[in-house]
Amino acid sequence: MPQLKLSYFDFHGGRAEPIRLALAIGGVAFADHRFTFPEFAEVRKTVPFGQVPVLEVDGVQVTQSDALLRYAGKLAGLYPADAYQALLCDEVAYVVEEAGVKLGPSFSMKGDEQKAAREALVKGSMPKYLGWLQTQLSAHGGEYFADNRLTVADLKVFVDVRGLNSGRLDHIPTDLVEQVAPALNAHMQRIALLPAVVAYYAKFGNK
């Protein structure tokens, strides 16, 4: 097994959290390098494109979160071997990523500008993405997104829904998912109760 070091911000969310979860669930050892937002100014000088997450594999830096998630899924046994099921898994992950890209610019906004931008997303693209994900979940049995089992697609959606529900995103109603895609909330709650997921978060206490 390669020596792995994953670098990302010190919070339970964002692009690295599904990767962390996949590795932890699969029992894959990795160095979980976390840093604060002020510390990122120095970290970004050492990573490709000045972006995180970055995964070091035997000392070699690799970037791009969905590529890292797929790799982690393969190491952890959480990525489909069947080509079509892998396609379905990737499709879901990329849709969540696309939704996040639309939200991204609002993090650098303040005040009324941020409020207007996020309210536009709540009324526009967010319900469309969430509704599509709910439809895909239902189409594939209602429990998992691909391969009739837990995959990294489920972890990607799980982290996204937790973030939307968290109250940490100003001007995003905490009941948005429940209102437009309640099956995704039920999915999130099921994933949260998986013993390996419970064990992962238990390590952090109330942090």
pLDDT in tens, 160-196: 999 999 988 999 999 999 999 999 999 999 999 999 9
Domain annotation covers residue 207: no
The reply to whether the predicted model has a pTM over 0.85 is yes
Residue 169 has phi, psi (to 5 degrees) of -100, 105
Examine the domain organization and report whether 110 and 163 are in the same domain: yes
Answer yes or no: do 157 and 124 share one domain: yes
- Over the chain, what is the mean pLDDT? 95
The answer to whether the beta carbons of residues 155 and 22 sit under 8 Å apart is yes
Percentage of residues in the chain with pLDDT exceeding 90?
95
At 207 the pLDDT is 57
The domain in which residue 107 lies consists of 83-193
Task: Domain count for the chain, please give it.
Answer: 2
pLDDT attached to residue 195: 95
Mean pLDDT across the stretch 150-168? 96
pLDDT tens string 11-26: 999 999 999 999 999 9
Query: Is 205's pLDDT higher than 80?
Result: no
Query: Are 122 and 41 part of one and the same domain?
Result: no
Give the list of residues 6+ apart from residue 167 with CB closer than 8 angstroms, or none.
174
Final residue before a domain boundary, out of 44, 61, 78: 78
**CATH value at residue 70:** 3.40.30.10
Do 155 and 57 share a domain, yes or no?
no
State the pLDDT at residue 169: 92
In a domain, 145, yes or no: yes
131 belongs to a structural domain:
yes
Query: Is 206 inside any structural domain?
Result: no
pLDDT of 1 reads 83
Tell me the average pLDDT across 113-118: 96
Provide the strand spans (E) within the chain. 4-9, 31-35, 54-57, 60-62
Domain stops at, among 52, 78, 104: 78
Does 19 reside within a domain?
yes
Last residue of a domain, one of 25, 45, 78: 78
Question: Is the domain of 22 the same as that of 109?
Answer: no
Question: Per the structure block, which two tokens stand in for 50?
Answer: 């000045």
What per-residue confidence (pLDDT) applies to 206? 57
Give the residue carrying structure tokens 């390669």: 2
| pLDDT at res. 150 | 98
Domain check: are 36 and 92 in the same one?
Answer: no
